């Protein structure tokens, strides 16, 4: 049987704020990598940059789904994940 856990609004706000900040940081990293990708001079550099961009993209997607999941769990039915 599952125990019911009650969380205060302050804790919910802190959790959501942390999730949004992590999303923003991941998105900023992605944008910076995308901006710098044209500076690669060799095929090896381009390959490494491409891999870094894909990793950053996946992190952004993961963070976005975490935010949507938190919203849905909080009763915001409009935030269903795709």
The 10s digit of each residue's pLDDT in 63-77 is 888 888 877 766 555
Domains of the chain: 9-79 (1.20.58)
Q: Would you state the pLDDT for residue 33?
A: 95
Question: Considering only CA atoms, which of 66, 69, 60, 54 is closest in space to residue 26?
Answer: 60
**Cβ-based neighbours of 64, under 8 Å, separated by 6 or more:** 23
Average pLDDT over residues 43-59: 95
Does the pTM surpass 0.75? The reply is no
Cβ neighbour number for residue 63 with a 10 Å cutoff: 19
Q: Which two tokens stand for residue 1?
A: 């049987």
**Cβ-based neighbours of 80, under 8 Å, separated by 6 or more:** 68, 72
Q: Would you state the pLDDT for residue 9?
A: 77
């Amino acid at each position: 049987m599952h125990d019911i856990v009650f969380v205060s609004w302050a804790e919910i706000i802190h959790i959501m704020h942390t999730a949004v900040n992590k999303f923003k940081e991941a998105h900023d990293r992605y944008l910076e990598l995308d901006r710098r990708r044209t500076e690669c001079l060799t095929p090896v550099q381009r390959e490494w940059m491409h891999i870094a961009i894909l990793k950053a993209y996946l992190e952004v997607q993961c963070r976005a789904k975490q935010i949507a999941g938190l919203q849905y769990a909080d009763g915001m039915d409009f935030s269903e994940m795709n």
